[in-house]
């Protein structure tokens, strides 16, 4: 298990019963704070969607969705969602949600191609959210405001955990630092993107890295992003590109940066066409989702996902996400984790 990190001297701060109670506490409290801060209503979401409509999230474009045939629909193929990035935007239109308001839901996904380690599992659970905006909101200042609102909800939840379990000490900084991925590359030109994340998060404690998906000055991308939901190619006032990003924190238990959320202002018609051309995905223009967007049949929006198990792992100060969620793990990983004081559920 070369990817497994075993933390020297690690001991769980909570009993199994306290851990389950803590998970419930975090999930209930955080979603109320998130929905209040961003004015979101809760909706019910699908576990799977039909293949060929362009609704499923393509992530980095290489992950294979879990599929199955539908007997009562002529053996049409359904795909277990990777995320609900596009589905949520469709629902904003379906529900007629006005600018300044939005929706959130529990997203459950299966990612069979995930490389399993302390922070990645086959099972993904997120609070997926989406909010209707206007054209004047499609700017960096508005993006930063929403990021600060989300981060404030995380801080309030961290404080509640400490009040409930005093042996869990708060460690997140009061403010989140903003930086564009190109600025980050220029600061650390000899480091890989992940090494840059570690360096900047260790310095500031909490960081929002912007412009995820577009090519940087060296011709590489900081990280992959599908071309048809986040807007990562629109120039901003600093001359850089991108109206999206990731919320990351420095996690002292694992001594590394940890992503808690991926989010962004979504593509408008112009950004969609530009990014499809940049990535050679222009054939997607004929898919259901993309045609609705190109025909102005979908609202402008901002949205993202916040990892539920990941947030619980951080706030309960666990060393492995398998201490938070029930999933499938290689048997040798289970044995190594048990021996290292982090038994997996």
Look up 259 and say whether it is catalytic: yes
Look up 186 and say whether it is catalytic: no
pLDDT band for 62, please (50, 70, 90 cuts).
low
With respect to residue 10, please indicate whether it lies within any of the assigned structural domains: no
Look up 111 and say whether it is catalytic: yes
The total of structural domains in the chain comes to: 1
- 126, 181, 275, 309: the catalytic one is 126
With respect to residue 7, please indicate whether it lies within any of the assigned structural domains: no
- 259, 274, 284, 327: the catalytic one is 259
With respect to residue 214, please indicate whether it lies within any of the assigned structural domains: yes
Look up 275 and say whether it is catalytic: no
**pLDDT confidence of residue 61:** 60
With respect to residue 9, please indicate whether it lies within any of the assigned structural domains: no
Structural domain that includes position 70 = 16-339
Look up 284 and say whether it is catalytic: no
pLDDT band for 58, please (50, 70, 90 cuts).
low
Residue of 286 and 56 predicted with greater confidence: 286
With respect to residue 3, please indicate whether it lies within any of the assigned structural domains: no
**pLDDT confidence of residue 51:** 86
User: Is 281 in contact with 58 (CB distance < 8 Å)?
Assistant: no
Look up 115 and say whether it is catalytic: no
With respect to residue 345, please indicate whether it lies within any of the assigned structural domains: no
**pLDDT confidence of residue 59:** 63
- 246, 275, 301, 323: the catalytic one is 246
Residues 33-60, mean pLDDT to the nearest whole number: 86
Residue of 62 and 30 predicted with greater confidence: 30
- 31, 121, 262, 275: the catalytic one is 262
pLDDT per position as a tens digit, 319-338: 999 999 999 998 999 999 99
pLDDT per position as a tens digit, 68-83: 899 888 999 988 887 7
pLDDT per position as a tens digit, 190-203: 999 999 999 999 99
Least confident of 26-35, 57-66, 74-83: 57-66
- CATH number, domain containing residue 187: 3.30.930.10
| pTM as predicted | 0.93
Least confident of 88-102, 235-249, 269-283: 235-249
With respect to residue 61, please indicate whether it lies within any of the assigned structural domains: yes
- 35, 79, 89, 111: the catalytic one is 111
Residues 106-127, mean pLDDT to the nearest whole number: 88
**pLDDT confidence of residue 1:** 44
Q: What is the CA radius of gyration of the chain?
A: 20
- 31, 57, 228, 261: the catalytic one is 57
Residues 172-200, mean pLDDT to the nearest whole number: 97
């Amino acid at each position: 298990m070369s990817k497994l990190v075993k933390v020297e001297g690690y001991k769980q701060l909570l009993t199994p019963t306290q851990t389950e109670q803590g998970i419930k506490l975090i999930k209930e409290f955080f979603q109320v704070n998130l929905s209040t801060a961003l004015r979101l209503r809760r909706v019910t979401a699908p576990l799977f969607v039909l293949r060929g409509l362009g609704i499923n999230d393509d992530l980095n474009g290489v992950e294979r969705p879990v599929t199955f045939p539908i007997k009562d629909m002529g053996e049409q193929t359904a795909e277990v969602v990777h995320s609900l990035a596009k589905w949520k935007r469709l629902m904003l239109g379906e529900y007629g949600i006005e600018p300044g308001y939005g929706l959130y839901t529990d997203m459950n996904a299966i990612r069979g191609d995930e490389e399993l380690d302390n922070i990645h599992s086959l099972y993904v659970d997120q609070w997926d959210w989406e909010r209707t905006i206007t054209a004047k909101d499609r700017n960096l200042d508005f993006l930063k405001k929403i990021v600060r609102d989300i981060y404030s909800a995380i801080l309030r939840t961290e404080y509640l955990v400490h009040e409930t379990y005093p042996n869990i000490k708060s460690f997140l900084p009061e403010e989140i630092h903003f930086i564009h991925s190109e600025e980050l590359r220029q600061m650390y030109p000899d480091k890989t993107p992940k090494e840059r994340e570690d360096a900047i998060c260790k310095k500031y404690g909490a960081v929002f890295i912007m412009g995820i998906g577009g090519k940087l000055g060296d011709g590489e991308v900081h990280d992959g992003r599908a071309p048809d939901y986040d807007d990562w190619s629109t120039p901003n006032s600093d001359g850089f590109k991108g109206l999206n990003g990731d919320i990351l924190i420095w996690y002292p238990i694992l001594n590394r940066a940890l992503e808690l959320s991926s989010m962004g202002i979504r593509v408008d018609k112009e950004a969609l066409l530009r990014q499809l051309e940049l990535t050679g995905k222009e054939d997607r223009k004929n898919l259901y989702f993309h045609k609705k967007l190109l025909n102005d049949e979908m609202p402008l929006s901002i949205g993202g996902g916040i990892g539920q198990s990941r947030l619980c792992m951080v706030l309960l100060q666990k060393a492995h996400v398998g201490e938070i969620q029930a999933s499938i793990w290689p048997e040798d990983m289970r044995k190594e984790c048990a021996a290292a004081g982090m038994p997996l559920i």
